[in-house]
């Protein structure tokens, strides 16, 4: 399996295992079955059970008929874009195969990144029957299809790995009272990067990095430290994040 080393903007290297081509193809096939099931089930319910096909026959208006057909197929057309956005880099097929889209800078992919991947899917998959996507994944150092290269993403395997939430856990007392509610602006990736950067900086006694990390947290979240000690502030941020995410 290809090892994917992601260098974050905080200069922290995070190692992942790139999803295998077999897993990506199987996830695609599972997603195809989901879309096919939608077309079959909804088509018969919508067009036959509700009689929409008869209504369309009476319209004698090709534009209206085409509009209805397009509306029906919209969930299929935007399937990967919608699911990856809602499930943070996963479709139903990817979730079953335990693979996920991530940014190669270590952050959570944005909606714009998913749009870029979705647009390039036309070239990678649809127009070339998947050949272009397959070749680019094999040839790419980071197992990226063209859409991944354009979006700055890759697909990683979550199998046999510690879950992201496990790497950011902090011990908190049952009676713990959080200090900074705005930590919910952070993502799991953000919290993990903060923790790893903080631990590395403390090990190397890099107090300048700790100071930069504190400033970055304040800039991103809008939080202002209530502690004069930078290390205590970052520890509180991590504990607060775990407190709020465990409550969700």
For residue range 12-56, list pLDDT tens digits in order.
Answer: 556 678 899 999 999 999 999 999 999 888 877 776 666 666 666
Q: How many CB atoms lie within 10 A of CB 172?
A: 15
Are the C-beta atoms of 237 and 217 separated by less than 8 Å? yes
**Coil, strand or helix at 205:** coil
Residues 16, 166: Cα–Cα separation, whole Å: 15
Confidence of residue 164 (pLDDT cuts 50, 70, 90): very low
Sign for the CA dihedral angle at 221, 227, 230, 234 comes to negative
Q: What is the pLDDT of residues 88-101, one digit of tens each?
A: 899 999 999 999 99
**Is 209:146 a contact under the CB 8 Å cutoff?**
no
Six token digits for residue 156: 């990683």
- Please state which of the ranges 35-39, 132-136, 224-228 shows the lowest mean pLDDT: 224-228
Pick from 31, 38, 12: nearest CA to 206:
12
Domain boundaries, the chain: 3-157, 165-247
DSSP 151-164: HTEEEEE-TTS--H
Nearest by Cα to 78 from 128, 134, 70: 70
pTM of the model: 0.61
- Residues 57-68 have pLDDT tens digits of 566 666 766 777
* Mean of pLDDT values over 157-182: 69
**15 by DSSP, 3-state: which?**
strand
């Amino acid at each position: 399996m290809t090892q994917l080393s992601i260098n974050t903007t905080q200069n922290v290297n995070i190692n992942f295992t790139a999803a295998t081509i077999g897993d990506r193809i199987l996830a695609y096939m599972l997603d195809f079955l989901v879309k096919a099931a939608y077309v079959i089930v909804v088509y018969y319910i919508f067009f036959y059970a509700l009689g929409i096909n008869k209504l369309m026959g009476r319209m004698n208006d090709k534009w209206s008929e085409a509009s209805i057909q397009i509306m029906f197929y919209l969930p299929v057309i935007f399937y990967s874009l919608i699911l990856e956005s809602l499930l943070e880099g996963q479709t139903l097929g990817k979730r079953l195969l335990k693979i996920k889209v991530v940014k190669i800078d270590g952050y959570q992919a944005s909606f714009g990144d998913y749009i870029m991947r979705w647009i390039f899917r036309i070239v990678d998959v649809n127009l070339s029957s998947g050949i272009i996507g397959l070749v680019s994944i094999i040839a790419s150092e980071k197992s990226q299809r063209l859409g991944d290269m354009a979006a700055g993403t890759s697909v990683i395997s979550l199998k046999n790995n510690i879950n992201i939430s496990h790497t950011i856990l902090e011990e908190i007392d049952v009676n713990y009272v959080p200090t900074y509610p705005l930590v919910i602006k952070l993502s799991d990736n953000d919290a993990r990067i903060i923790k790893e950067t903080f631990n590395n900086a403390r090990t190397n006694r890099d107090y300048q990095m700790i100071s930069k990390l504190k400033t970055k947290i304040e800039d991103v979240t809008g939080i202002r430290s209530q502690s004069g000690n930078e290390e205590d502030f970052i520890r509180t941020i991590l504990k607060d994040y775990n407190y709020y995410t465990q409550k969700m």
